Structure 1
């Protein structure tokens, strides 16, 4: 996907430090304080324009939500939506997910969402995949015990790779779907990409799992 550069993105992001965290390392160990409560924090990595995160936040005001995005031209669109329709339980972080262990203490995150992340199809780039053993270890360093991770993709090869990685790392697979939108027992909130993929007739692959302690 080719990103359309938003020239004013950096300036706008820096204009709302109460909503977007650009230097998140200083909040390590005290993320609950930004919401002024001790409710569980759910994290989405790669929020796009925020559709998924914002819909979840409306459905669950009892949960605090954080969204990470590494592209300024993307996260600024999410910020603009948040300015139009403020959600007190949502905050954004402009950062690369590689820095997760520098941003969060162990146990700060109660639930994790990985939606339609880059499949990095070339074998040489496998370690960049958000379900690689390298990233699973990063998640393990920030999530609470027994936290659940939910993963969605429209890319079968990426899905297959993720399944193999979870088996190899002795992770606990709680639910698998080869066509999420035909499932009746999974509460699903769509992302922007998901809506487009489903309209094209593409199946959505889904895994709910826990990382081995």
Structure 2
């Protein structure tokens, strides 16, 4: 979902360079240096307004997190939250998810979150879907041996496509739910995104999976 331009975004980013990386291509393999201490590292590709990643970081101080989005307006909204919260285990990144293997080192990441990614429903746009094989290859590169991928979407077509894409790539599924909010086991620790909260109230089912790459 494309957000409106935020006229104040660029100034806020420039004023808070301790919270957001502006030259991420120089950070490959060195992301831990931007945090208060070295801890397991997780990234959310497509952070939207930041509800999910900020709450996750608050609830799990034993981990480090990176909120990543390609839209300046979106990452600025996350930054606005972080300026207030000043979470020592959260950093921000304005970048495109298609270049993850150039931004992170091999095995540098412990987990990746994909929440309500653009479904790109037209066949000609398949390569833009974040669960397309080219993206999976990059996830496999930056995740360590125990790393995992967690994916949520309200789009049934994208979820079915993702299951097939991951299966064909050789990934193994740890958890799957076609109705997360009515799954007593998997919904216990679920943190909602803004989008998820809005559309689940309208009756949309939330699809969820957690998977890993075989070593």
| C-alpha spacing 1:26/1:2, structure 2 compared with 1 (3 Å) | closer
Determine if contact 1:169/1:212 at 8 Å carries over to the other structure. Answer: no
Q: Within 1, Cα distance between the matches of 2:2 and 2:51?
A: 19
Structure 2: tracts of 5 or more residues without a match: none
Q: 2:34 matched to which residue of 1?
A: 34
73-82 vs 2-11, which moves further = 2-11
Q: 1:208 matched to which residue of 2?
A: 210
Superposition RMSD in Å: 1.0
Q: Within 2, Cα distance between the matches of 1:155 and 1:86?
A: 33
Alignment of 1:140-159 (within 5 A): 140-159=140-159
Determine if contact 1:136/1:211 at 8 Å carries over to the other structure. Answer: no
Q: Give aligned pairs, total.
A: 213
TM-score for the superposition, normalised by structure 2 = 0.96
Q: 2:21 matched to which residue of 1?
A: 21
Structure 1: tracts of 5 or more residues without a match: none
TM-score for the superposition, normalised by structure 1 = 0.97
Determine if contact 2:44/2:113 at 8 Å carries over to the other structure. Answer: yes
Report the Cα offset of residue 38 of structure 1: 2.0
Alignment of 1:38-57 (within 5 A): 38-57=38-57
Determine if contact 1:57/1:90 at 8 Å carries over to the other structure. Answer: yes
13-22 vs 86-95, which moves further = 13-22
Deviation per CA, 1:43-98, whole angstroms, max 9, x where unpaired? 11001111000111111100001111100011111111111222111000001111
Q: 2:165 matched to which residue of 1?
A: 165
